[in-house]
Amino acid sequence: MSEQLQEPNIFMLCGKVNTAAFQDMPDGFRVRLCRLDELHIWKRMPFDDEEIAKQYLGFMDDYFETVYAPKGNKFFEKCLFVVDKDDTPVGTCFSWKSYDKITTIGWYKVKKQHEGKGIGRALLTEVMRSISISDYPMLLHTQPSSDRAIKLYSDFGFKLLTDDTVGQRVNNIIECLPLLKAVMPENDFNNLKFTTAPKELLDFLSVQNVDEF
């Protein structure tokens, strides 16, 4: 792929979802699938700044063509949008069977102007409700700037991985912990939990040449 997103790597694993974290979507918002003609919206969704979105458009194009396009319409059967009363997308997230084997959570994002309304928790609830017991454990990749999301993932049962590498990527959790501690409420940071991934999962990921999550 082309230029990677330049942030340290954090990986999280969930062995069992905490259903006590589930929440319904707040009034005025609903969840629907991303439509074919909205792909350009999804590619810009991770970025609050339009100039940064333009900078990383090549990366998003490459990622989509490498990971999702070979699966036909599967992306549009999985990718969720939260939309407001005008049907404007304000958030996204979905689960994906990476390498046709591992369930992953990807591209979670709520636009900054809509943070703090419960939209993200309700969206992740929608995603996690769709996942069967046989799909666990599941993985996700994130970064230290997504501290609000990390707190949310933790509420749902995700734990921070401490393995040195995950696939072809270095796990930067040790250097990221001070960054998280500096920005997260003390209680939220102290409630983070840690684990290691099953050896067979790490062995499988170690021979994959493409980052599919």
Banded model confidence at residue 2, pLDDT cuts 50, 70, 90: very low
As a whole-number percent, the residues of the chain with pLDDT over 70 amount to: 98
The rounded distance, in Å, linking the Cα atoms of 153 and 45 is 19
Strand partners, 141: 11
pLDDT in tens, 150-165: 999 999 999 999 999 9
The residues spanned by each domain of the chain are 10-206
Residue 123 has which token pair?
Answer: 């969206």
- Vertex 166, ends 7 and 195: CA angle to 5°? 100
Banded model confidence at residue 42, pLDDT cuts 50, 70, 90: very high
The rounded distance, in Å, linking the Cα atoms of 170 and 20 is 32
pLDDT in tens, 111-130: 999 999 999 999 999 999 99
Give the CATH H-level superfamily of domain 10-206: Gcn5-related N-acetyltransferase (GNAT) (3.40.630.30)
